[in-house]
Structure 1
Amino acid sequence: MDAVPILRTDFTDSAGWDRLLQALEMPVTQEEGSQDFCDYDRAISYVTPVDQEEYRGLLPEMALAAAPYTGHDLPYDHLYLADAETFASDDLPLLGIDLHDDVESWPREEPFRVPALQVAGVEINDSIANLLFHEFRDFDWTESEVYVAGPGTTVHEEFRRMDQDEDED
């Protein structure tokens, strides 16, 4: 499956976009206090931020109009919008849009918010079909603690080293 796009639709808050990109790069886990690199993942491994003016003001219904059953063959069944509401909140809640073909065994879900630091967990679960994207619709994010390995931690530095190794290859 190709990386799921995060489309920037609001261009009034450059600092907000930068904060979002930083959040997507942060190694996160649900294992409190873990120093094990293998317990962590980053949303950026599963999503592609798209910062293009052509998406300015894109609304959920416009994204849905381009969904697979309208003749567009997309390599993903959902996407995220980074809109003004995303940048107005500390937890940077992206607007998740369910794009799967509505003729499947469940109806499309209404768009719903996913905090930026929770995106890695959503994408990991969706990629292995443990929980599909639409199943996160009514998820209570306050009950799902996420721990961040910030700059200066061993885990964060290991991810940084891996990124540098990839850049050199």
Structure 2
Amino acid sequence: MNNRDFTAAADLFHDPAWRAYALLRAGRYAEAAETYGFIETAAAANGEGVALLRHRQYRDGVRAFEKALMRDPTQAAAQANLKVAQAIVDYVESAQLASDTGEEGGIGADDIVFDNESGQGDEMLLDRAEADGLAAGLSTQDWTRAVDTQVGDFLATRFLLEAVRGAE
């Protein structure tokens, strides 16, 4: 740490607070946020918020600063960081609303993402052909890598669905 080798320091520290700080300084923001998340102090929640902001997870950063202020309402760093994080979220959301998606010009988006946590998006329905077209671009191997479940659970569900469809 004294030699400014934060990556090596992070791998050597056993104390979670020092490890999280070294991870943050090393630019390993996701790991830093996770490590800070296990420490139940206002300072750790503030550190988690900083790591999340640097990892571009702005809404989660806001929540971490709010958690820090719940733990210690007088913490000045968390108060200042919360204001900054809220301003970033407001800016990003207003920029998204004002941005040109290119739909009229035929450019369109590369991917469809469903994220309406702020409640500002429009309700819409996708027709079945369009939704099926999204998955059509993935190979079987890519699709199975993207499945976020245990293989046994996945196969049990798949066999159950096939059995139900076969019984109809």
Q: TM-score, normalised by structure 2?
A: 0.22
Higher RCO (CA < 8 A, seq sep 6+): 1
| Bigger-Rg structure (1/2) | 2
